[in-house]
Structure 1
Amino acid sequence: MEDQVPTLSRAEMERAMRISVIDGMLASASENMIGPFLALCALAMGASKGQIGLLSALPAFLSNILQIPAARFTENRGERQKLVVVTSGLSRLTIIPIVLTPVLLKGDAAIYTFIFFVTLRGFINSIGVPGWTSLMADITPRSIRGSYFGYRNIMCNLAALVGTLVAGWFIERAGYPRGYQLSFSAALILGLLSSYYFSTIPKVPWLRQGKSQRRFMGLREGWQAVSQYTAFRNYCFTSILWNFGVTFSGALFSVYFRENLGGDPGFWGVVTASGLIAGVFGHRYWGRLADQFGQKNVMLAGGVGAASVPFLWWILPRWELAVVAEFISGFCWAGYNLAAFNLILEITPDEGRTTYVGIYNTLAGLASSVGPLVGGFLADSIGLPAVIVISGVLRWVGYFVFKHNVPVSADVQMTWRDLIPFSQELRLLRKQLEQRDNDSSLSQ
């Protein structure tokens, strides 16, 4: 007989979801005061495009090869919440040497030390990711996941917007290195507050694997786990191609903005903020569609824009218009990311979910680590514009492979008409008016 999945009481679940929103807001503000500006800071330190690619690739590579061991460790220990709190807190403390590196060291020594601590930050944080994903599934009822995470993401984007604008203001006012140090230090404080709030979430009961299952998963067992569920297997493999294409140029847009378009580094905060503002509107819009039409349909609709982002950047005539490209990007990525997160929760089993999430993150993450490395070194040899175009082509290939190879039978068919805001309400109103006209004609 199957084990029953333990759950929180309704009051505890509501409290957990409220705390998760606060934690997410603090984490988003923290991350957006450091993440979008790491490449620009490295550029100011004298880093090459290849080194910028390394700055993005190394954290992704080392973080994601750890996903399956981290998932198994979490399954064995059974202390998801404690693990997330400890790893997130330690990863945020690595911001201290990141802040000090530009002051204490110069030249390549400074650049590679900077890359090391940024990598260490991502590496430590990644240990808690499978447990965090599994825990989020347990505190949110399946029926409202789309709307809840839509709301949560709206609040996170608002907090990220404030954090980004403040960081941009620091950098514009104080310049390099002081502006970056002020922004990164604020990120440290907000990040530690986020870890504290996460620790106050009510302890979530957890269906753990039996002792016979809790052992190290080798290559054969990993392949069997991937192959057991067709949708999960195909999603993993299509994500490899998609993530490679996305990260091929993703870390280099800020460099393209600065070097090819001649943009002001301080204005990069405004560019990033425009994407966050679009995300606020996007999450509410896409969350409703996800609950109604399913996750895959929303990923396909949002993916059209996400796959086209490199071409938008490629045709920009002036750096001021980067705001427009980022706004469109933020709106489309809001839908894609929201649905992608919910889809992985839907196609993985309740028992052993952390392991399946770890497998997915490892496969997708390895592609995400190779992408910026190849893209960065190619940018040094053939130029950034060519790399951006190649990224767009790879994204579209990944899009169509996902569309035709990941079966999700429960989704309701969605047409492009359904993407029009208030289209359902307008159709309902029209039906009511037609019904009223019919009733009137019958009464006559």
Structure 2
Amino acid sequence: MLGTIIPARRFAIAMVRRMLQADLPAAVRSDEDVEAEVWRNYNWNFSVNVIDGAFFLLAQSLMSATTILPFFVTRLTDNPFYIGLLAVIANGGWFFPQLLSAGPIERTDRKKPWLINLGFFLERMPLVLLTATTLLAVSSPSWALALFLLAFATYNFGAGIIAPAWQDLLAVCFPATRRGRLMGVTMFVGGIAGALGAIGSSRILETLPFPRNFLILFGLATILMFAGWAVLALTREPVRQVPRTAESRLRIWTRLGRILRRDRNFRRFLTARGLLAVGGMGMAFVTAAAISKWDVSGGTVGSYTVALLVGQSASNLLFGLLADRKGHKVALVLGGLAAASGYVIAGLAALPLLYYLVFVLLGVYFSSTFVSGLMIVLEFTGPEQRPTYVGITNSIIGTINVVIPLLGGWLATISYGYLFALSAAAGLLGVLLMAFWVADPRHIAENT
């Protein structure tokens, strides 16, 4: 038995290494040579990644993990446990694997094969199975539910494995002073596409019978994800030999401890960023608070969603340009202030009309965490440790995002006022620490 397992394991490792092009040599290149190639391909890579982002966000609007997927699960079972399990898979599946893959990603010279070759099987193919589960929804809902959860977990786990490679690819393809506008434009264009997708998905769900409506939605989302994969494959990566250090071969937990002990500014950043994440606790409960206070209609809730998208889309472009000029820390501080202000208004509002402003401010916060929350991490270290820094940050913030809604749900049963007050206080503390305790990593790099 053992004699069969060992060759099979070696074959699997060899196939993965071949997919990742791990054994292909890479030239030792100067920073000036790489920088020249980056600028030469800047417009091409910018266009390719914006188009990929638009495809991705449009696909996500057709299989939203906060609206459409829970709705599909409710058609398969009336047990609310599976709705909660869906949220745990969505957050934990994407964030937690990043610590495991960060080390191997660091040791490979090419990042694009992680997304294109390995990502095809780990992230894109599971969506085919997810779509196919709709065919069992009527005849065997239990099997459909089991296969759906398996496909959804595989998709999120696969996305989590390759996520550090995606962020590292952006780091090597775009200068630090251009990443903000890349994310801002991507989120702006993708936000418009996502809004149109949300309108279309609502009509499909209303006009077509179950499960054909979900078959069409999931099928379209899968096609869009594969289209984005094909476009992303056109990215021109400036390949160079990554420095191999003794530390890069250490176990991830050993390296994590060393980084947190040595890098005081990064440790401070994680503390402030974690508090900002805790400050996001109230976001999921603002709509419920409005319904509880004034019994607002479904149409009003839909209008609140539009207000959220308006705040998000407008600030995407603003934060992108601001981050490129002043650094991502400024955008995170402004986003945190917007969220805290929104919670104060939500707690004190006497009219449902004021909740439109609340949702605009929360859209501003969401934009800052996506545009700058992801990109600022790339500036804390050089290319030799960048994936590990990404994995540490995303795993810690992901853990908070998984756990903190449970506290929010408990506080909501007592008082929405308490929930919003705690969210605002945590967010403000995070803003103060980010503004006055954390040094902007870009400015540190410029002064050294």
Q: TM-score range by the shorter chain?
A: 0.7 to 0.9
AA in 2 matched with 1:197: V
Aligned 8 A contact 2:169 2:237 in 1: no
Q: 2:58 aligns with which of 29, 46, 49?
A: 29
Tell me if structure 1 keeps the 8 A contact 2:61–2:194.
Answer: yes
Q: Which residue of structure 1 aligns with residue 433 of structure 2?
A: 404
2:102 aligns with one of 48, 71, 74: 71
Query: Which residue type is aligned with residue 75 of structure 1?
Result: E
Q: Kindly tell me: are residues 163 and 67 of structure 1, through their superposed partners in 2, closer, same or farther at Cα, counting changes over 3 Å?
A: same
Pairing 1:16–2:16 present: no
Deviation at 1:229, TM superposition (A): 2.1
Please name the residue that 1:354 is paired with.
387
Q: 2:329, 2:440 within 8 Å by CA — same for their partners in 1?
A: no
Letter in 1 for 2:335: G
Deviation at 1:193, TM superposition (A): 0.3
Query: Contact 1:241/1:367 (CA < 8 Å) preserved in 2?
Result: no
Match of 2:311 in 1: 278
- Judged with a 3 Å threshold, the aligned counterparts in structure 2 of structure 1 residues 137 and 326 are, in CA distance, closer, same or farther, namely same
Larger RCO (CA within 8 A; separation ≥ 6): 1
Distance 1:207 1:267 in 2: 55
- The alignment status of 1:141 with 2:148, answered yes or no, reads no
**Cα 1:282–1:76 shift into 2, 3 Å:** same
Q: TM-score, normalised by structure 1?
A: 0.77
Structure 1: stretches of 5+ with no match in the other structure: 413-444
1:197 CA drift (Å) = 0.5
- Between stretches 179-188 and 204-213, larger displacement belongs to 204-213
Per the TM alignment, residue 96 of structure 1 is displaced from its structure 2 partner at its CA by: 3.3
- The CA deviation string for residues 196-238 of structure 1, in whole angstroms up to 9 with x for no partner, is 1001111322452315343243423211112322221122233
Whole-angstrom distance in 2 between the partners of 1:152 and 1:311? 30
Q: Determine which of 159, 167, 178 is the counterpart of 1:125.
A: 159
Match 2:194 to one of 160, 176, 182: 160
Calculate the TM-score normalised by the size of structure 2: 0.76
Structure 1, 50-59 or 183-192: larger mean CA deviation: 50-59
The alpha-carbon deviation at position 294 of structure 1 amounts to: 2.8
Task: Measure how far apart 1:409 and its partner are.
Answer: 5.1
Matches within 5 A, 1:34-433: 34-35=63-64, 36=66, 37-47=68-78, 49-90=80-121, 91-101=123-133, 104-105=136-137, 111=145, 113-174=147-208, 176-206=210-240, 208-210=242-244, 212-246=246-280, 248=281, 264=298, 272-307=305-340, 309=342, 325-372=358-405, 378=410, 383=413, 386=415, 390=419, 393-394=422-423, 396-404=425-433, 406-408=437-439
Letter aligned with residue 31 of structure 1:
Q
Shift, 1:11, TM fit: 2.3
The CA distance in 1 between the partners of 2:147 and 2:134, in whole Å, is 9
Q: In the aligned structure 2, how far is the partner of 1:312 from the partner of 1:44?
A: 36
Once residues 327 and 213 of structure 1 are traced to their aligned partners in structure 2, the CA distance between those partners, rounded to angstroms, is 45
How far has the Cα of 1:120 moved from its partner? Answer: 2.0
Displacement after TM superposition at 1:25 (Å): 1.0
Question: Does the CA contact (< 8 Å) of 1:276 and 1:330 recur in 2?
Answer: yes
Give the Cα–Cα distance (whole angstroms) in 2 for the partners of residues 194 and 291 of structure 1: 26
Tell me how far apart the structure 1 counterparts of residues 265 and 95 of structure 2 sit (CA, whole Å): 21
| d(CA) in 2 for partners of 1:190, 1:101 | 18
Task: Output the amino acid matched with 2:316.
Answer: H
CA 178–47 in structure 1, closer or farther in 2 if over 3 Å, else same? same
After superposition, the Cα gap between the structure-2 partners of 1:281 and 1:11, relative to the gap in structure 1 and judged at 3 Å, is same
Shift in CA distance, 56/242, structure 1 to aligned 2, threshold 3 Å: farther
RMSD between aligned residues: 3.7
Structure 2 unpaired stretches of 5+: 1-27, 444-448
Task: Indicate how the Cα distance of structure 1 residues 86 and 33 shifts in structure 2: closer, same or farther if over 3 A, else same.
Answer: farther
Letter in 1 for 2:226: L
> Structure 1 residues 370 and 206 mapped into 2: Cα distance closer, same or farther (>3 Å)?
farther
Distance in 1 (CA, whole Å) between partners of 2:289 and 2:148 is 21
1:297 & 1:45 partners in 2: Cα distance? 45
For 1:257 and 1:200, the matched residues in 2 are separated by 46
1:360-389 deviation line (CA, Å, top 9, x unaligned): 11111122222345556x48xx74x84795
Q: Helix, strand or coil: the match of 1:60? A: helix
Change in Cα spacing, 1:158 to 1:73, as seen in structure 2 (3 Å) is same
**CA separation in 1, counterparts of 2:422 and 2:117?**
40
Q: CA contact under 8 A between 2:337 and 2:427: conserved in structure 1?
A: no
SS, match of residue 127 in structure 1: helix
Does the CA-based 8 Å contact 1:75-1:209 persist in structure 2?
A: no
Aligned match of 1:431: none
Counterpart residue identity of residue 76, structure 1:
R
Does the Cα contact within 8 Å between 2:93 and 2:160 map onto a contact in 1?
A: no
Q: Give, in whole Å, the separation in 2 of the partners of 1:315 and 1:230.
A: 38
| Seq. identity, % | 19
For residues 20-47 of structure 1, the C-alpha deviation after alignment (integer angstroms, 9 at most, x for no partner) is 1111111111112112422333344445
- C-alpha distance in structure 2 between counterparts of 1:255 and 1:282, whole Å: 25
> Which amino acid is the alignment partner of residue 330 of structure 1?
G
Deviation track 1:136-192 (CA, whole Å, cap 9, x = no partner) reads 112222233333432232222222222222222222323654333322221111111
Matched residue of 2:107: which SS?
Answer: helix
Question: Given residue 397 of structure 2, which amino acid in structure 1 is its aligned partner?
Answer: A
One-letter identity of the residue aligned with 2:131: V
CA change 1:182–1:216 in 2 (3 A) is farther
Secondary structure at the counterpart of residue 124 of structure 1: helix
How far apart are the structure 2 equivalents of 1:156 and 1:372? 26
Quote how far apart the aligned CAs of 1:330 are: 1.9
